[in-house]
Amino acid sequence: MEGARDTGVPGIEADCGGACACSSCHVDVAQDWLERLTPPQPGEADMLDFACSPDPARSRLSCQIRVTPALDGLVVHLPERQI
């Protein structure tokens, strides 16, 4: 989320600033990358219920994705709208 926000990627609103309290940073992770991410914690999964049309298999809150070198090239897709 911070990387997208800081580089001006449109569609990542991040209203709560990364506190896992708004779901306006919702993204859908490309299928090929799903196994490389740690699973969502319960709080993230609960907050995704408030996202716009979340995909239970691929949706994540981008503020909860800890970026590491192993995620270099991570592909995510933005929903049509947030919340």
Residues 49-78: x/- map of binding to ligand FES (CB under 6 A)?
Answer: ------------x-x---------------
Give the residue, chosen from 9, 11, 20, 45, that forms a contact with ligand FES under the rule CB under 6 A: 20
Contact between 14 and ligand FES by CB under 6 A: the answer reads: yes
Structure tokens at 54: 């979340």
Give all strands of the β-sheet with 26-29 in edge-to-edge order: 59-61, 26-29, 76-77
Q: Tell me if 29 contacts ligand FES by CB under 6 A.
A: no
Name the residue with tokens 């709560």.
Answer: 16
Reading phi first (left if > 0) and then psi (alpha if -120 to 50, else beta), residue 39 is in: beta
Residues that bind ligand FES (CB under 6 A): 1, 14-16, 18-25, 47, 61, 63
